[in-house]
Chain A
Amino acid sequence: MRQITVLSGKGGTGKTTLVASLAVFAENLVVTDCDVDAPNLHMLLNPGIMQKQEFKGSKVAVLDESKCIQCQKCEENCRFNAINDLKIDPVLCEGCGLCAYICLVEAIELREKVCGYAYISKTKYGFMSHARLNPSEENSGKLVTLVRQNARQIAEKENIDLIINDGSPGIGCPVIASVGGVDLGVIVVEPTLSGIHDMERALKMLNHFKVNPLVCINMYDLNIENTKMIETFCGSNRVEVAGKIPFDPLVTEAMVLGKPIAEYSPESTVSEEIKEVFRKILNSH
């Protein structure tokens, strides 16, 4: 089974646009949306949900005021400043349980909370595993792990040998969870100085976790000089540039209609170039 994750470092460079069209070109795949904070892939692939599963990712401390003797031990010892005037702020609480442990009268209990939902769905291009973390929750990395587990289970059951993961921006916990153990990390970069800076950090992160990288330049014609800079950088670091996708307002048009660009305008240069990226992904080792 091959697992590929599309990431970028910087947000909004075109990960989801690319993944949706890769799904169009793949004949047999499971696609996932690992951006559980702000998932968008479902808006292009219109999945029909087959299974919904609660995600209990973390715990929260709950104080029983009737038992509390106001000794303030909890407040003094909480490292997250989550207890003020003997009220626990569920947003700041990280569910460590220290307060419950040190409470002299067992007035604090650690409770599991539902932090989001994971879904297994079917789209016209194959199975999809995705999720939604409730706004302002933590533990997005754990939910990403669940999404990927679900994807592997379907792939095994249905004899599918390709999984493509749509990653989230950044290089922290959810992104690390989305690249662990994959065969290839495809970095989508835009030709801006910020995009290049963030790509370099994403490449280092892939290197740190020993994941093979591939780079795809999106909207490359917005700044040809920067595009050349990316190509030179990749060349000297022996990273393959798998494709250069031009800027095209058709991409936004397709998004407004809720379709992958490869479905909306298969003849466009954008679609042709993504097809080429797909071919290179399959051939890379």
Chain B
Amino acid sequence: MIISIASGKGGTGKTTVAVGLALSAENIQLLDCDVEEPNVHILLKPMICEEKPVYSLVPNIQEEKCNHCGKCAEHCQYRALFVAPERVLVFPEICHSCGLCTIVCPEKAISEEKREIGVVKKGLAQGVDLVYGELNVGEPMAVPVIRYVKKEIDKDKTVIIDVPPGASCPVVESVYGSDFTILVTEPTPFGLHDLKIAVEVLRTLKIPLGVVVNRAGIGDMKVYEYCKEEGIPVMLEIPFSKKIAELYSRGVSFVTEMEEWKMKFQHLLKRIVEVRIGEANNGS
């Protein structure tokens, strides 16, 4: 089973929930797909056993064959190529590696070369298999690195995916193929606003979802009213607590110091399985 942890708004507690869940259950693989700003490893402090560079394919122009006809630039939807009278300029950062330019070139002057844009690290920490990606600083495209992280999915384990904030392509890439998504929110107007956006994304992708309210007790009750109206289960509440915040600030998952929470996370996992079975029965 693949469970992703997403939110829309940043800083609501995705990583707190992902790590809390991972440390409370057995046979877990945890994937950190927030490759722009990965944080899971700060809480888990893994022993890294493998590092793999992430490459994207970008065009390599053989100038001696090129007659500067301009077809490649004309067809590139991302404007990653510019044909000057004497030379072809490639902008590798914005290339999506679709390969179209290599096909359209009548002179067969374009091949593809590898370009390193990030790294995937694998490690082990407190019984949890961890995989996380890091996008190189200055690179705009997170999606290829996320794809590499997800290639490491181990189907024999319960897979937990920590998703980046937002609602666009990196989020879609991260949650795609999940059996269930937990949306972590805080009970504030910002939290609710971005929760609604995240719900839209998941409904488009037809992924079943539930909500975890973090920092419960601050703000107002509107998140709960919304969930009730929409029939979205609120599966767990984590109260606003200075102790939890302080532990997090030091890079410590609160479940390691407040053992009673492990039971609550186990219960959450059980509920996810029940909701999944319920949905499967309704669907058939």
Contacts and interface: CB of A to CB of B under 8 A. Distances in A.
Contacts of B137: 171, 201, 204-205, 208
Interface residues of A, number: 65
B205 interface: yes
A97 B75 contact: yes
B112 to A, nearest CB: 11
Contact of B96 (A96, A133, A255): A96
A13 interface: yes
A283 interface: no
Contacts of A226: 249-250
A95 B141 CA distance: 16
B214 to A, nearest CB: 10
A136 B166 contact: no
B166 A37 contact: yes
Contact of A256 (B77, B189, B198): B189
A132 to B, nearest CB: 9
A101 interface: yes
A241 B206 CA distance: 45
B193 A43 contact: yes
A107 interface: no
Interface string A218-234: 00001100100000000
A173 B141 contact: yes
A141 B140 contact: yes
B193 A38 contact: yes
B90 to A, nearest CB: 16
A28 interface: no
Interface stretch (B7-15, B224-232, B269-277): B7-15
A191 interface: yes
Contacts of B142: 170, 172-173
Contacts, number: 194
Contact of A170 (B37, B75, B138): B37
A283 B165 CA distance: 33
Contacts of A10: 10-11, 37, 39
B249 A170 contact: no
Contacts of B135: 171-172
A67 B149 CA distance: 38
Contacts of B188: 252, 255-256
A79 B190 contact: no
A91 interface: yes
A222 B245 contact: yes
Most buried by A among B164, B220, B249: B249
A135 B37 contact: no
Q: Is the interface of B mostly helix, strand, loop or mixed?
A: loop
A135 B188 CA distance: 20
Contacts of B169: 136-138, 140
A91 B205 contact: yes
A33 to B, nearest CB: 12
Contact of B140 (A38, A94, A176): A176
B167 A193 contact: no
Nearest to A171: B36
Contacts of B220: 256
A133 B218 contact: no
Interface of B: 8-12, 15, 34, 36-37, 39, 42-43, 75, 77-78, 96-100, 103-104, 135, 137-142, 164-172, 176, 188-190, 193-194, 197-198, 200-201, 204-205, 218-220, 242, 245-246, 248-251
9 contacts: A79-B97, A91-B176, A133-B167, A135-B198, A139-B168, A171-B135, A172-B170, A193-B249, A204-B138
Given A169-B165, A226-B249, 15 more contacts: A37-B8, A38-B8, A91-B172, A135-B204, A136-B167, A136-B169, A137-B168, A138-B169, A169-B37, A170-B165, A171-B135, A171-B137, A173-B142, A226-B250, A256-B188
